[in-house]
Structure 1
Amino acid sequence: MSDSQADSSLMQVSQGRGPPPARQPQAGLLDELNGFSGSWFEAGGGFHGMMNYWFRTATLAWLTGEIEAVQMNHAVRDARKGYGLTGLLCSWNMLSSHDTPRLITSLGDAEKARLALLMQFTLPGVPLVYYGEEIGMEGGADPDCRRTMRWDLAQWNHAQRDWVKRLISIRQTNPALQYGEVTVLGDRLAGNALGAAPDTKVQAASVQLDIAPRSGAIYQAADPHTHYTYFKPRNRG
């Protein structure tokens, strides 16, 4: 199938959005595109959200050192602009799927996997945990990523499962993480940091990850000093 045929088929599918929500008003229609999907939202394709492979690509690239923090921060900002707030909040934040290598296999490091999961639950979007991700299942390219669920509790990474349960609790008790507008702050830090501030105007949260081997602080302006925008490194004059 050519690219034009594929685009035509996807557009025909998108134009069928009407009936499902009419039957089930709470239902959503998601599209699967392996890349940045802003053009589909801009074209009025009819999807509520995306399987956000863009999130996966950027997150893994940053944690493996393929890109720097400035690019990671721009990836979050670009998704907010390209998908729109509603489209982004309705999209799935994915770190692996039935079509990709699993998280721990891609990163090869348990601590980096924990950071990726933290990003999955705190950046705008719906966290989609691929089965077995919560217990540290490995798996390479398809079909290896589709292994049968590991049911032997002795083989589970219980620390990772506890971490995922903690992240679920944090997200459930913080509305700003679920549907807040997001301001990207990490590019104000002269380090390898990602910073975001979800805000519902009633509740705000602060998400900061710095994978550089040094300390720093990000300051967010707040009323009545909203015109202040600055960063002050620790232990400096």
Structure 2
Amino acid sequence: MDAVVVDVEANASVTHLGLRRRLLTLGLPLWEVLSPQQRIALLGHELGHFTHGDTRHGMVVGTACRSLSTWLYYVRPMPNPNVIQAITNLACVPLRLLITAVMALLDLLTARASQRGEYLADGAAARTGSTEGAVGLMDRLMVTDSIVTTLQRETNSRRLRGTGRGGEQNTDGLWEALVAHLGSVPESEFERRRRVGALRGHSVDASHPPTHLRRRLLLDGTPVPATVTADTARTERIAGELADVRGTLAREVVRDGYGDL
């Protein structure tokens, strides 16, 4: 990887930046609730998209998807427009429709390859962080809505308390509260989510196969041990490297509200 970005999404992804550079984006809320081996499985999964030549993460299609998403962002309608802005919004309608149509076409043409890529990346996650770590990662992915709800509750609570010393809002223990909440979720709730996911075909998004099928494929195969292990020293070095980012993102989330960034 040539660059790593840490944001506040409960997700992770990889993409190309131009012709040669690769970008890894880690969502801190997801990272925080994972065990060390689940984190390694997550990295194994994301890097596995490059290893197996996943079309949507490749240089051509991946860059195209990213560019189209950026263009769509810039031509989005301006809220509460004045007269000139309203005219601009109307003028951008054909361009928005064209970009949306091309993105839909790319999704359609790469859907099967993308789903195959997810299964292969899951295999990379298991080989890297162990089958147990990869399965645990998928269980966490099934409760991302709970991660979002907990962060919204915690940030709103801190905003309502007002400011503390130096006029800053209290951000202490934000990520710890998130970890504590996910740690208190009983196994019965995870099992309920699995059954609901099997009935509804739960997936992270349309490009991903249903999570219960991905999980079942790993469990039906021969369990594999981790090729990369998270010893105490390595875990502490990673935590130290992320310490400043954790503080910065906690302040931004509490200041601006989660979901509004």
Measured against the shorter chain, the TM-score band is under 0.3
Q: Which has the higher relative contact order, 1 or 2, with Cα contacts under 8 A spaced 6 or more apart?
A: 2
TM value normalised by structure 1: 0.25
Tell me which protein shows more helix as a share of its residues: 2
Tell me which protein shows more strand as a share of its residues: 1
TM value normalised by structure 2: 0.24
Q: Which has the larger radius of gyration?
A: 2
